[in-house]
Amino acid sequence: METLAARSNRELYDLWAGTYPAVAHNPLMRVEQDIVAPILARLAPRRALDVGTGSGRYLSVLADAGARTVVGVDHSIAMLGRVGDAPIVCADACSLPFRRASFDVVNASLMVGDVGDLRAWTREMARVLARRGHLVYSDFHPSWAQHGWKRLFRAPDGASHELGYHPHTIDDHLAALEAAGLRAIAIREPRFRNDEDPAVKTFRRRWSNPPVIAVFHATNEP
């Protein structure tokens, strides 16, 4: 798996795990989940995989959508330690320890920015999808790279840290999906709502509220 400073980022995720809730705990994540959760609910998955599950935020969302089997996978042991009693696996997202066609829905929330080889990642998602399966995933919008925004978090000791990420354009995503034999059904590019959060108000005043997330829904149906 080609990742950006993979060892360093993994260590940072392990460090972040101590203060990382299993809920959408900031405006960016709320905007993303408001788009993704209804898609998953409409799909009514039976066997669902959450790639880059972190502390398991989407495991309950997938279960509530009807999935009888829900598995979370992440490369951070510390993050997985925050998950409850759902099945979890520590693994590389570009080399998943699952058989071909194991899941009818694969979800991945804001993790593909950690992946440099987007085509390899998308091929692996397609490999584990059953026939007529669906891939739903989100990424940091290309506006992040355009504006030079950074991924920052505060560790339990109060120190601030920056996580690197690989920027991907919308065309990069579409080309990767096509190369993997997946067909894009929808792309959503949400902006921050008129949130009462002071940070959102400051952001909107400074940046004129460009899109912050890109959400992709693709299928391997003919």
6-219 has which fold?
Rossmann fold (3.40.50)
Where are the alpha helices (H) located in the chain, listed in sequence order?
A: 6-16, 27-43, 57-64, 77-80, 118-128, 143-147, 170-179, 198-207
* Torsions phi, psi for 152 (to 5 deg): -120, 150
How far is Cα 216 from Cα 173, in angstroms, rounded to an integer? 8
- Do 143 and 180 contact (CB within 8 A), yes or no? no
CA distance 55 to 79: 5
**pLDDT value at residue 9:** 80
Q: Is the dihedral of CA 9, 11, 15, 18 positive or negative?
A: positive
pLDDT value at residue 154: 85
pLDDT given for residue 5 in this prediction:
41
Residue 41, judged by CB atoms within 10 A of its CB (0-12, 13-18, 19+), counts as middle
Which of 133, 81, 91, 134 has its CA nearest to residue 111? 91
32, 170 in Cβ contact below 8 A? no
pTM (2 d.p.): 0.93
- Per domain, the residue ranges of the chain are 6-219
- What are the residues whose beta carbons fall under 8 Å from the beta carbon of 91, sequence distance 6 or more? 73, 74, 75, 97
DSSP states of 93-119 as a string? TTS-SS-TT-EEEEEE-S-GGGBS-HH
Walking along the chain (222 residues) 10 residues at a time, the average pLDDT comes out as: 51 87 89 97 97 95 97 95 91 97 98 95 98 97 95 85 93 98 98 84 91 97 80
How buried is residue 131: exposed, middle or buried, by Cβ count under 10 Å (0-12/13-18/19+)? exposed
Phi, psi of 60 (to 5 degrees): -70, -35
CA 101/CA 163 separation, integer angstroms: 32
202: Cβ contacts below 8 Å, ≥ 6 apart: none
Percentage, residues of the chain above pLDDT 70: 96
pLDDT 10s digits, 46-95: 999 999 999 999 999 999 999 999 999 999 999 999 998 889 999 999 99
The pLDDT assigned to 11 comes to 86
C-alpha 213/C-alpha 222 separation (Å) is 27
Question: From the CB of residue 9, how many other CB atoms can be counted at a distance below 10 Å?
Answer: 19
